[in-house]
Amino acid sequence: MIAGPGQRTGPGTIAVLAVAAAAVVFLLAPVAIIVIVSFSGADYLSFPPPGLSLRWYRRFLGAAGWRRSLAVSAQVASLTTVFATSLGLAAALALVRGRFRGKGAVYAFLISPMIVPTIITAMGLYFFFARLRMTGSILAMALGHTVLALPVVVIILAATLQGFDRRLELAAWSLGASRLLALRRITLPLIAPGVLSAALFAFLTSFDELLIPLFLSGVEAQTLTVRVWNSLLLEVDPTITAVSSFLIAVTSTVLAASSLLRRPRGAA
Amino acid sequence: MSEVGAVPLAAMPAAAAAERREQWGQLALLLPALLALAALFVYPLLGILFRSVHKTDYTLEFYRHVFRTPVYLTVIWLTFRTAAVVTAICLVIGYPLAYVLARARPRMARLLVIVVVLPFFTSIIVRTYAWMVLLGRNGIVNQYLMDLHLVRAPLALLYNPSGVVIGMTYVLLPFMVLTLASVMRGIDPSLVSAAHSLGASPAQAFRRVYLPLSAPGIAGGALLVFILSLGFFITPALMGGPPDVMIAMLIEREVELTLNWSFASALAVILLVLTLAGYAVYHRVVRLGQLFEGHS
């Protein structure tokens, strides 16, 4: 597979393939095992499970506490998606099309939250919102996650817009369309897949994130990740396998949807 | 813009005005994002910086406290050591996988990218929990080892440094593989073939041709994993034992338990400076953001 023409399959190649295969197992096994174990019928965690059942999913979705956390996570992530996508789309439009000095610096600034350890961002936001007496609110958590999701949106949309043929918009102008009309009827429909994909990743960034809600959530509004964290500090509860599988399913859905969105469109 | 070139000279002031309007329009588009980051990111970071040097008056006592207390120096040392070990293991496991990924046929390469990217985008707390299930005292790995009579008593794989290293390696391996693969994809395979046809053994061709060409990927991936390791919190907090404290965990404890916000701020500034120094070096090797643009 990797041996080029005229290359023998020597011991080196075999060693490389063996380590690569081991790495694949290392990457996949934990995720796969958690999903399989989540359907276990046993009281303890063993693999393979002695029998299959949905009991851990019933424990997860049947408990009022977990359901409330799911709702909190969904609200925080939805708000984050709206904030980050609208701010990021506007900024990406200006960044890709604009001709002003310091563009590189502005781009670097917009993605800079990626390089600061999240624990520091979370702590800064905690001090900030504590003074505003906003800790424990869904809005505060969503605003915090917007900081983390904005770089993701800007990177995806800057790449999308770079691939967009600007002449289509210029053609609309020359045919008498106003700036706004051309944006609405030509540009936005054409970049819609990119925008949707950016929105999905913004949602995922928030839905999966623990540290900001860990600092900002109160007793009442706990996200799914905070609830998992709290229960892991106490014991290894098999219900978490069901919660984890649910989160893995959300990730897989987002990845699958965004790869479908990126596929070049046929007849459309 | 090409249209400007075609405009007659008399219309130039109008064109310049349109140009200026356009620039104001772009600023208006940028402003919401810039203001949001200024309020929710820059201002809180400045707040941490201020808190670290100011209580009732300006002071450096919190920094002095960090550097004069052996326990905290130990934590910093442990953080660096863990980061170095995790980086080395990620490189050893990640290099062969990235090599295979870069040279595989398109269909196989796509499959391997999915294998790397699925864990990459899975919540860190889920990935950490998966390893806790595997490595616990009655965990799945120990169940197998006992069933196969390889060990008499369950091995201590969790709540100690090895648990931290396994968990962090798992979380950070995709960063290493994606960085390496993006560099390796740009290496022309015919260069290695040329070395072979000139009589080099596979080992020689690798060491003298492929390895040097992949060096930017090694440097970029290693730096990235090392920097990210320094700020790690979730995995070491859940998979480490009581003595396995890293800087980020110390920060969280000072904020949540001891409520010593000034001291926590000084620690955060130290962590931030270390991280930024790392990225300054990284920036020379791999352009920031390249990782995401290529794969997400």
pLDDT on residue A168:
87
**pLDDT, average across residues B5-33:** 74
Task: Report the amino acid identity of residue B261.
Answer: W
CB-nearest to B32 from A31, A87, A240 is A87
Examine residue A251 and state whether it is found in any structural domain, yes or no. yes
Q: pLDDT-derived band of residue A268, with 50, 70 and 90 as boundaries?
A: very low
Query: Is residue A13's pLDDT more than 80?
Result: yes
Backbone angles phi, psi at A210, to 5 degrees: -105, -45
Closest-approach residue (CA) in chain A for B278: A115
Query: Is residue B166's pLDDT more than 90?
Result: yes
Query: Is residue A83's pLDDT more than 70?
Result: yes
Tell whether omega for the bond before A48 is within 30 degrees of 0, i.e. cis. Answer: yes
| Spatial contact of B271 and B248, defined as CB atoms under 8 Å apart | yes
Interface probe, candidates A13, A79, A101, A123, chain B, greatest B C-beta count within 10 A? A123
Interface probe, candidates B2, B41, B146, B197, chain A, greatest A C-beta count within 10 A? B41
pLDDT on residue A265:
55
Between residues A13 and B233, which one has the greater pLDDT? B233
3-state secondary structure chain B: CHHHHHCCHHHHHHHHHHHHHHHHHHHHHHHHHHHHHHHHHHHHHHHHHHHHHECCCECCHHHHHHHHCHHHHHHHHHHHHHHHHHHHHHHHHHHHHHHHHHHCCHHHHHHHHHHHHHHHHCCHHHHHHHHHHHHCCCCHHHHHHHHCCCCCCCCCCCCCHHHHHHHHHHHHHHHHHHHHHHHHCCCCHHHHHHHHHCCCCHHHHHHHHHHHHHHHHHHHHHHHHHHHHHCCCHHHHHHCCCCCCCHHHHHHHHHHCCCCHHHHHHHHHHHHHHHHHHHHHHHHHCCCCHHHHHHC
Which residues in chain B have Cβ-Cβ distances shorter than 8 Å to A31? 118-119, 122, 127, 130
pLDDT on residue A6:
44
Candidates A219, A215, A229; CA nearest to A130 is: A215
Neighbouring C-alpha atoms within 13 Å toward the C-beta of A122: 21
CB contact under 8 A, A7 and B196: yes
pLDDT on residue A35:
94
Query: Is residue A235's pLDDT more than 90?
Result: no
**pLDDT, average across residues A116-132:** 95
Backbone angles phi, psi at A52, to 5 degrees: -105, 145
Which residues in chain A have Cβ-Cβ distances shorter than 8 Å to B132? 232, 236
Q: pLDDT-derived band of residue B201, with 50, 70 and 90 as boundaries?
A: confident
Examine residue A28 and state whether it is found in any structural domain, yes or no. no
pLDDT on residue B102:
93
pLDDT on residue B189:
85
Examine residue A51 and state whether it is found in any structural domain, yes or no. no
CB-nearest to A232 from B41, B129, B251 is B129
If phi > 0 it is left, if psi is from -120 to 50 it is alpha, else beta; for residue A14 that is alpha
pLDDT on residue A89:
95
pLDDT on residue B4:
45
Helix (H, G, I), strand (E, B) or coil at A178: coil
**pLDDT, average across residues A187-215:** 94
Examine residue A108 and state whether it is found in any structural domain, yes or no. yes
Between residues A179 and B222, which one has the greater pLDDT? B222
Closest-approach residue (CA) in chain A for B262: A127
Helix (H, G, I), strand (E, B) or coil at A229: helix
Highest mean pLDDT range out of A9-23, A156-170, B157-171?
B157-171
Domain count of the fold of chain A: 1
Supply angle C-alpha B277, B82, B267, rounded to 5.
50
- The parent domain of residue A181 ranges over 65-262
CB-nearest to A111 from B29, B252, B289 is B289
Q: pLDDT-derived band of residue B15, with 50, 70 and 90 as boundaries?
A: confident
CB contact under 8 A, A33 and B134: yes
> Residue B58: beta bridge partners?
B54
Examine residue A30 and state whether it is found in any structural domain, yes or no. no
Q: What is the domain-level CATH number for residue A94?
A: 1.10.3720.10
Q: What was the ipTM of the complex prediction?
A: 0.89
**pLDDT, average across residues A1-13:** 59
Which residues in chain A have Cβ-Cβ distances shorter than 8 Å to B248? 117, 119
**Residue B11 CB coordination number (10 Å):** 12
Q: pLDDT-derived band of residue A5, with 50, 70 and 90 as boundaries?
A: very low
CB contact under 8 A, A6 and B23: no
Q: pLDDT-derived band of residue B12, with 50, 70 and 90 as boundaries?
A: low
Between residues A80 and A260, which one has the greater pLDDT? A80
Closest-approach residue (CA) in chain A for B39: A128
Closest chain A C-alpha to B24 CA, distance in angstroms:
10
Q: Picking from A65-79, B13-27, B46-60, which range would have the lowest pLDDT averaged per residue? A: B13-27
pLDDT digits (tens, 9 = 90+) for B121-132: 999 999 999 999
Which residues in chain B have Cβ-Cβ distances shorter than 8 Å to A228? 125-126, 129
| Spatial contact of A228 and A243, defined as CB atoms under 8 Å apart | yes
Examine residue A10 and state whether it is found in any structural domain, yes or no. no
Closest-approach residue (CA) in chain A for B120: A27
| Spatial contact of B291 and B75, defined as CB atoms under 8 Å apart | no
Average per-residue pLDDT for chain A: 89
Candidates B262, B173, B295; CA nearest to B224 is: B173
Percent of chain B with pLDDT over 70: 92
pLDDT on residue B286:
63
Average per-residue pLDDT for chain B: 88
- pTM for the model stands at 0.89
pLDDT on residue B8:
52
Query: Is residue B1's pLDDT more than 50?
Result: no
pLDDT on residue B10:
52
Query: Is residue B11's pLDDT more than 90?
Result: no
Which residues in chain B have Cβ-Cβ distances shorter than 8 Å to A83? 36
Closest-approach residue (CA) in chain B for A142: B40
Q: Picking from A106-115, B8-17, B63-72, B163-172, which range would have the lowest pLDDT averaged per residue? A: B8-17
Examine residue A193 and state whether it is found in any structural domain, yes or no. yes
CB contact under 8 A, A152 and B292: yes
Which residues in chain A have Cβ-Cβ distances shorter than 8 Å to B112? 24
- Whether B158 has its CB under 8 Å from any CB of chain A: the answer is no
CB contact under 8 A, B234 and A210: yes
| Spatial contact of A104 and A198, defined as CB atoms under 8 Å apart | no
Examine residue A84 and state whether it is found in any structural domain, yes or no. yes
Task: Report the amino acid identity of residue A169.
Answer: E
